[in-house]
Amino acid sequence: MTSARGDGPYFDRLVEEAGDFNPFTDHGWETLARRFAAAIPGTGFRVLDVGCGTGRSRRVYQDRSERYAGLDLSLGALRLARQRFADAAWLQADALRLPVRAASFDVVAFSSVLHHLPDRRAALAEAARVLRPGGWAFAFDPNLLHPAMLLFRHPRSPLYNPEGVSPDERPLLPRTLRADFAAAGFTAIGQRCQSDLPYRAVAPRGFDALLPLYNRADWLWEKTGLGRWLGTFVVTWARRP
């Protein structure tokens, strides 16, 4: 959700007004869980979920984690997460200054958060610090190569509408993320664009009427193979040497 200083108040207000932050349907979260399982082998992980929001992203990692901790800037979101999942640890902090010991996690996951950060490479360097040698970083972010993200979510597009967009977020190119991971010292970098991530709601509100059509089109996008290269989100994973 957010771990960028400028986006914290935005998501506090959003959670207070909406009572939650849950962008994807159950099927969307399950798609991301399958992508995580395909990308990173093994089970019993110690997972730090950066940008955990209200705890919805926990389901991407929970089946393969032995210990899970969620981190976010939004206190309102974390309050809801603690109410729902009292068995997990929930931390309020900035992604650029993780309040955990070095080499203490097997996986650091950035749950749709790198595209919010003004200094992604510093955040990835922090992830490398708290990962054990051989540990993994995992991220999913809106893909600038997807037509909807390019037309409606990039500030330079003539069709850009800021409603529902937090102050710091920008969709990213896959190659930009690969370069960021490499600059932070990660190796074995893997990447796969992903569609078939149906949304529960979108902004501006008038777009909701078109959401069933969009979700169906996104499913077809994945089934035809286009999602692999031009999917709604780009999923990136890499290993700390």
Boundaries of every domain in the chain: 5-239
In 53-155, the DSSP E strands lie at 65-72, 89-92, 105-111, 131-142
CB neighbour class for 191 (10 Å; exposed up to 12, middle 13-18, buried from 19): middle
CA-wise closest residue to 120 among 62, 71, 169, 79: 169
Dmax over CA atoms of the chain, in Å, equals: 48
**Cα 55 to Cα 76: distance, rounded to the nearest angstrom:** 11
pLDDT of residue 168: 76
Q: Which amino acid is at 230?
A: L
For 222, half-sphere exposure in the C-beta direction (CA atoms, 13 angstrom radius) is 17
Cis bond upstream, residue 23 (ω within 30): no
**Cα 204 to Cα 83: distance, rounded to the nearest angstrom:** 29
Q: With H, G, I as helix, E, B as strand and everything else as coil, classify residue 108.
A: strand
CB atoms within 10 A of CB 6: 15
The pTM for the full model equals 0.92
CA-wise closest residue to 29 among 4, 47, 6, 53: 53
Whether the Cβ atoms of residue 238 and residue 189 lie closer than 8 Å to each other: yes
pLDDT of residue 153: 81
Domain made up of 5-239: CATH architecture: 3-Layer(aba) Sandwich (3.40)
Tokens of 58: 């926990």
**Cα 115 to Cα 188: distance, rounded to the nearest angstrom:** 21
CB atoms within 10 A of CB 16: 12
Q: With H, G, I as helix, E, B as strand and everything else as coil, classify residue 49.
A: strand
pLDDT of residue 206: 67
53 backbone φψ class: left, alpha, beta (φ>0; ψ -120 to 50): left
**Cα 53 to Cα 81: distance, rounded to the nearest angstrom:** 7
User: What stretches of 85-183 show up as alpha helix (H) in DSSP?
Assistant: 120-130, 147-152, 174-183
CA-wise closest residue to 5 among 105, 123, 108: 123
Per-residue pLDDT of the chain (241 residues; tens, 9 = 90+): 555 555 666 666 665 666 567 889 999 999 999 999 999 999 999 999 999 999 999 999 999 999 999 999 999 999 999 999 999 999 999 999 999 999 999 999 999 999 999 899 999 999 999 999 999 999 999 999 999 888 878 788 887 776 767 777 889 999 999 999 999 999 999 999 999 999 998 776 667 788 999 999 999 999 999 999 999 999 999 999 9
